[in-house]
Structure 1
Amino acid sequence: MSGYRHLITALKQLRKHAEVGGVTIGHVLDALQEASFCLVALFLALPFLQPLLPLGPFSTAGGFAFIVLGAQLLMGYPEPVLPKRIRGIRVAPKVLKLITVYTLKFLGWCRRYTRLRYLSWVSGRQGQVVTGGIMLAGGLIIIIPFFGIPLNDFFPALAIVSACLGELEQDGLMIFVAFVWLAVGVLYCAFLLITLALFGWEAFSYFF
């Protein structure tokens, strides 16, 4: 996938565009290329990182979005495929500047703790497949309607965020971290399903 240096350069160029009138969503995706998959997924995952507040129907919508992004990565798309009407929406200059400035700061902060390592897991076609698979699997867990149950979206969201940071920062170790969080999410989901099958929804009132 796109290298870290290209990503930083593209974000700085978009920040300049924000100062002279803004651009369309399609232009943003074209500039970021494959990195746009991870940036879109990161923004979508943020609401799921608060573990105690259930998001209700938003979980289903978010899970579906992760599934679509992951499937497109697995199929080798160079950037997220969106309808022309959405690609043509113009991003307000203030919004674009805010997004680029804070994204650059966030990536700079993450760079303190990440390293260039295990590059085969975050580069080329293998990087696409691994990250796309984690997004898709995380989306499948999130889309399960455990409305009102804490933590059911938290672990797969952590997996998606870890995988995205691994791609953006070119740190393959984060992919292993993502697999750990994904495994925890699968086990937690299995626990909820087994509890529901054996005892019904009434059982959750004792725990949550």
Structure 2
Amino acid sequence: MVHNSFSLKHMVEVLHRRAKPRGLCIADVFEVFGTLSQSVVVLLMCVPFVQPVPLLGLSTPAGMVMMAMGASLAMGIRRPWLPKKILNRHIEFETVDKVCTALEKVLEKTERFIKPRYGSWVELPIVRVLNGILILIFAFLLALPLPVPFSNMVPAYFLILNAAGWLERDGLVLLISYVIAIFAFAFFVGLTHGTAELIQHFWN
């Protein structure tokens, strides 16, 4: 089992090796990463959504799984309840390879900036609860089948930074994720307001 002493890059490399050659399932992630599993799952599942075009067929099921991760983190449950069908859903190595390779390339460039620091407050129970609630909210927003550019990307950026900050115990990155959360909320409030005005315009 991987513990907090390992870097985020090393965690991804461990998962990448574990997936060879037959792929893996979510249950494998929990077996390898233990108490860190919720954030690892969120990090991996968000990678495909870092693009302007929403992935409507994929965002809803992925968002629902991440909502379960957020809820379990907020409640302090080490292993969230998920249907066996989802836990044991096989993910082909080709898919895992693409996601892990993309993450490894990014982490090679960012590992100087994402590192353990200001970690004393990160360990506080209230921070864990806050992160869990925010993951739950933004996973719900990502799950919404909105055919609007950036509607997947905006919550995905928060989720990735929040997961990375939590896994690396990087207080600064975690704070940056909270700032992004504010802008992300503003984006969805503006989107809701604009949609309401558009409906009202056509209704009248």
TM-score interval, smaller chain: 0.7 to 0.9
Q: Which residue of 2 aligns with 1:125?
A: 125
1:161 Cα deviation from its structure 2 partner: 0.5
Is there any run of 5+ residues in structure 1 with no aligned partner, and where? 204-208
For 2:76 and 2:67, the matched residues in 1 are separated by 14
1:184 Cα deviation from its structure 2 partner: 1.2
**How has the CA–CA distance of structure 1 residues 44 and 13 changed in structure 2, closer, same or farther, with 3 Å as cutoff?**
closer
1:130 Cα deviation from its structure 2 partner: 3.1
For the Cα contact (< 8 Å) 2:142–2:155, is it kept in 1? yes
State the identity as a percent: 26
Is there any run of 5+ residues in structure 2 with no aligned partner, and where? none
For 2:48 and 2:17, the matched residues in 1 are separated by 28
Q: Which residue of 2 aligns with 1:140?
A: 140
For the Cα contact (< 8 Å) 2:25–2:89, is it kept in 1? yes
Deviations 1:159-205 (A, max 9, x none): 101101101222111111111221111111111111121222989xx
For the Cα contact (< 8 Å) 1:121–1:130, is it kept in 2? no
Q: Which residue of 1 aligns with 2:182?
A: 183
Comparing 105-114 with 170-179, greater Cα deviation is found at: 105-114
For the Cα contact (< 8 Å) 2:68–2:136, is it kept in 1? yes
Larger gyration radius, structure 1 or structure 2: 1
Name the amino acid aligned to 2:47: L
1:133 Cα deviation from its structure 2 partner: 2.1
Name the amino acid aligned to 1:63: G
For the Cα contact (< 8 Å) 1:115–1:170, is it kept in 2? yes
For 2:106 and 2:192, the matched residues in 1 are separated by 36
Q: TM-score, normalised by structure 1?
A: 0.74
The residue correspondences of 1:54-203 to structure 2 (distance < 5 A) are 54-84=54-84, 86-87=86-87, 107-123=107-123, 125-145=125-145, 147-200=146-199
For the Cα contact (< 8 Å) 2:29–2:41, is it kept in 1? no
**How has the CA–CA distance of structure 1 residues 74 and 116 changed in structure 2, closer, same or farther, with 3 Å as cutoff?**
same
For 1:58 and 1:15, the matched residues in 2 are separated by 22
Q: Secondary structure at the match of 1:112?
A: coil
For the Cα contact (< 8 Å) 1:23–1:90, is it kept in 2? yes
**How has the CA–CA distance of structure 1 residues 79 and 186 changed in structure 2, closer, same or farther, with 3 Å as cutoff?**
same
Q: TM-score, normalised by structure 2?
A: 0.75
Name the amino acid aligned to 1:48: F
**How has the CA–CA distance of structure 1 residues 45 and 101 changed in structure 2, closer, same or farther, with 3 Å as cutoff?**
closer
For 1:93 and 1:57, the matched residues in 2 are separated by 21
**How has the CA–CA distance of structure 1 residues 182 and 119 changed in structure 2, closer, same or farther, with 3 Å as cutoff?**
same
**How has the CA–CA distance of structure 1 residues 132 and 4 changed in structure 2, closer, same or farther, with 3 Å as cutoff?**
farther
For the Cα contact (< 8 Å) 1:67–1:137, is it kept in 2? yes
Comparing 56-65 with 152-161, greater Cα deviation is found at: 56-65
